[in-house]
Structure 1
Amino acid sequence: MTGFALGVDQEEWCGQLRALAAERLRPLAEKGEPGRVNRPLLAALGELGLLERVFASGALELCLLRESLAYGCTEAETALALQGLGAYPVLRAGSEEQRERWLPGVRAGRAVAAFALSEPGAGSDAAALALAATADPAVAPAAGGGWRLSGEKCWISNAPEADFYTVFARTGEGPGAKGVSAFLVPADRPGLSGAPLDMLSPHPIGSLTFDGVPVGPRDLLGEPGRGFRVAMDTLNLFRPSVGAFAVGMARAALDATLAYTADRTAFGGTLSDLQAVAHRVAEMATRTEAARLLVYAAAGAYDRGAGDVPRRAAMAKLLATETAQYVVDHAVQLHGAVALRRGHLLEHLYREVRAPRIYEGASEVQRTIIAKELYAGVVTR
């Protein structure tokens, strides 16, 4: 895939999504409480069939969906993405019983999913997980025994209000990533508790405490010791679409800046007449378009099953999230004080845009992945 252009049908669909986000979903988002799961918003995403599209589409369509929703309503985009992130491991690695039990509710916006990977001492270094899964024959004795989960998870989106969690814990089959297993843990399991965290980002984030939480073989997602692969399979799909989320925010900030600077009078003309302003806007537009192309190139590679998906996904997330930060920051600067008022689009985007440079692998981690993939192909003497 050397270039990217939307077809007529795709352009129309994206336009419909942007309008839907602004007219139907944003009012529901505004009624929600920051830091809490907005269940009416999730229900609307389900009724509109958008949650179903997360699971039925490839990476390219997922990116179009996330970018378009982010342009019109970041809360709706994030609510949709978190459902996908939490439940995608169930779709790909879960048993038929697990899929039938949980996925219909996720698609309908009734069941809230969460992806529980990060820990207080293992954020970007996912292979350093410490949550222990200790074998216990008394758990599920008819199935040959199970495990008890002990430890903590932190910075988990949708926690502590999710209905179930995709949890990654150390079962010890091998060192590092080789000893991690994935479990589907319903929120009502004994020993599982959580607390909300007061974060800059407006979507719900919390911590989880596991005090001997029982899990059995029927709770496994995939095979014991193969959980890290489940996590990476999920992140390789969602990292380019995090980039699409960032591109959607950047485009919203850019369009707001174009409208404002073309209309705002200053120094005997409009702000857009000033070369310093016009050149800044040109730079914002160029970086946004470059990031967008890289995101969709990565999505196309994922859908083709290309072998360089980890590198492309990391590049897409890195460039798009860093670009969005740049564009939103300069949009605020060109708007001046008005953009800092609570309730202004750019004030909202300024709070939203910071987190994607950290979650699902910080920018520094993406650079490490890119370098590792590049050097893996170098033949040394």
Structure 2
Amino acid sequence: MTAFSLEPAQTAWCEELRTLGERQLRPLAEKGDPGHVNRPLIAALGEAGLLDRMLDSGALDLCLLRESLARGCTEAETALALQGLGSHPLVRSGTPALRARWLPEVRAGRAVAAFALSEPGAGSDAAALALKAEREAGADTGAGTGPDAAAGPDAEPDGRGWRLTGEKCWISNAPEADFYTVFARTAPGTGSRGITAFLVPADRPGLTGTALDMLSPHPIGALEFDGVPVTADDVLGVPDRGFRVAMETLNLFRPSVGAFAVGMARAALDAAVEHTAARTAFGGVLKDLQAVSHQVAEMATRTEAARLLVYAAAAAYDAGEPGVPGRAAMAKLYATETAQYVVDTAVQLHGARALRRGHLLEHLYREVRAPRIYEGASEVQRTIIAKELYASREASA
């Protein structure tokens, strides 16, 4: 398999996923309450084995999952992706006890996970996190024992836990998740090196949340931490090294955000081809108008270019190649910007019918805007790409 083509078995699997999304998952999604966690839908993802596959997959498999589900049911795709985003730090850096407690529940679709990184004053700038984790006396807090654990002064037990104080905002699945991967500042004034990742169950005292009324149909909320207690048993990885946990997660999921965008673009392109091939206007079929057919050709070309960029970034991640952050940023940037263009053009070609509530394109038009912002806005991706380019130049000079 290359980054530019799929094996027949992979293509068949993608079609199976698309069909599953359309026929079995979309009816469950339509019964859900917009802005709230759809637990029957998540349970169905677990029953179908997709959550299991997602947690055990590499970047390419994750991209295939997200793209194919997005073509058939964007709500199912988003529910799966949010489970992965919230759980990947646990898979990669959790202690054996945390994994045993939570991962079987996530795989079965019984526990809802959330990735709590963003704050009112620290969205894409993760190094500016202000949520405080202040040391307290009296708790037994041995060192983190996940795979990232390493010998060093920050990893030594000192018999104290932490209290989390502050807020998180724009957190998907909040405030309805069962646990949160929370990134907090344990060492003031140290930038990205003073952040620790914690797994915080939703029932911890002092943790409250409110739902936010957002454009996207999936749940998004804010969290308030009023002295929420955590110990070293809750640490993911090593104290003061949580920024690495966050970046490892984002480097994996950024190309797959691009895959989600490609899936939406392909759904919009399918709809545009179908509509323009059948719709008559001005004495002929729309597809016979050069102004229309050229737009459809442009939509298809940009979508295919985005797909190839996403797969190339995913293959590079799986192969452990250098430059993954830059390639992941390119994939997310180009695919999400392309999806916005393709969906918008498809709406224009359909006319007013595409703006009716319940139309596929009306739904995609609302869905497609957010991926250009979350997990690093387009401007952040351009910054990452530029830094990688100049760093490469300096290294070779």
TM (norm. structure 2) is: 0.94
1:47 matched residue in structure 2: 47
Compared with structure 1, are the counterparts of its residues 236 and 141 closer, same or farther at alpha carbon in structure 2 (3 Å cutoff)? closer
| Corresponding residue number in structure 2 for 1:333 | 348
Distance 1:94 1:36 in 2: 27
Residue of structure 1 equivalent to 2:258: 243
Q: Distance in 1 between matches of 2:172 and 2:206?
A: 20
**Cα distance in 2, alignment partners of residues 168 and 13 from structure 1:** 36
1:268 aligns with 2:283: yes
* 2:63 paired residue number: 63
Query: Which of 190, 193, 215 pairs up with 2:208?
Result: 193
One-letter code aligned to 2:48: L
2:378 to 341, 363, 371: 363
How far apart are the structure 2 equivalents of 1:305 and 1:114?
A: 27
5 Å-filtered alignment, 1:280-299, equals 280-299=295-314
Deviation per residue, 1:22-80 (Å, 9 max, x gap): 00000000000000000000000000000001111110011000000000000000000
Alignment of 1:74-153 (within 5 A): 74-140=74-140, 144-153=159-168
CA shift for structure 1 position 378:
1.1
2:238 aligned with 1:212: no
Counterpart in 2 of 1:255? 270
User: 1:349 is aligned with what amino acid?
Assistant: L
For residues 69 and 101 of structure 1, the distance between their equivalents in structure 2, rounded to whole angstroms, comes to 28
Take 1:189 and 1:56, find their aligned partners in 2: how far apart are those partners? 29
Give the Cα separation in 1 of the matches to 2:225 and 2:371: 27
Gaps of 5+ in 2: 143-156
Q: Quickly say closer, same or farther: Cα 1:210–1:13, change in 2 above 3 A.
A: same
Mean alpha-carbon deviation: is it higher for 169-178 or for 155-164? 169-178
- SS where residue 134 of structure 2 aligns? strand
SS at match of 2:88: helix
Measured after TM superposition, the shift of residue 140 of structure 1 is 3.8
Q: Give 1:307 deviation, angstroms.
A: 1.3
Alpha-carbon distance, 1:139 to partner: 3.7
Q: Which stretch has the larger CA shift, 259-268 or 142-151? A: 142-151
Secondary structure of the corresponding residue to residue 211 of structure 1: strand
Give the letter aligned to residue 110 of structure 1.
Answer: R
Distance 1:138 1:273 in 2: 76
Q: Which residue number corresponds to residue 150 of structure 2?
A: none
Describe the SS at the equivalent of 1:378.
Answer: helix
How far apart in 1 are the matches of 2:322 and 2:183? 25
Equivalent pair of 2:276/2:286 in contact (CA under 8 Å)? yes
Sequence identity, in percent? Answer: 76
CA distance in 1: counterparts of 2:139 and 2:220, whole angstroms:
30
Alpha-carbon distance between aligned partners in 1 of 2:303 and 2:322, rounded to the nearest angstrom: 26
Q: 2:4: which partner in 1?
A: 4
How many angstroms apart in 2 are the aligned matches of 1:250 and 1:141? 48
Can you list the C-alpha shifts for 1:224-264, whole angstroms capped at 9, x where unaligned? 01100000000000000000000000000000000000100
**Deviation for aligned residue 1:173:** 6.9
Equivalence for 2:24:
24
Q: Cα–Cα, structure 1 residues 100 and 2, in superposed 2: closer, same or farther, change >3 Å? A: closer
| TM-score, structure 1 as length reference | 0.98
**What CA RMSD, in Å, does the superposition of the two structures yield over aligned residues?**
1.3
1:14 maps to amino acid? C
CA distance in 2, matches of 1:333, 1:141: 58
Q: Is the 8 A contact 2:269 2:342 kept in 1?
A: yes
Match for 2:326 among 297, 302, 311? 311
Do the aligned partners of 1:174 and 1:225 also contact (CA within 8 Å) in 2?
Answer: no
Deviations 1:279-311 (A, max 9, x none): 000000000000000000000000001111100
2:270 partner letter: D
Q: Distance in 2 between matches of 1:137 and 1:336?
A: 64
Task: Decide whether the 8 Å contact of 2:171 with 2:220 is kept in 1.
Answer: yes
Equivalent-residue separation in structure 2 for 1:97 and 1:305 (angstroms): 28
| CA deviation string 1:75-129 (max 9, x = no partner) | 0000000000000000000000000000000011000000000000000101000
Q: CA deviation at 1:319?
A: 0.2
d(CA) in 2 for partners of 1:300, 1:377: 20
Question: CA–CA distance in 1 between the matches of 2:2 and 2:97?
Answer: 41
How far residue 365 of structure 1 moved from its aligned partner, in angstroms, is 0.1
For 1:73 and 1:283, locate their aligned partners in 2 and report how far apart those are by CA, in whole Å. Answer: 24
Change (3 A) 1:108 1:141: closer
- Measured after TM superposition, the shift of residue 174 of structure 1 is 6.0
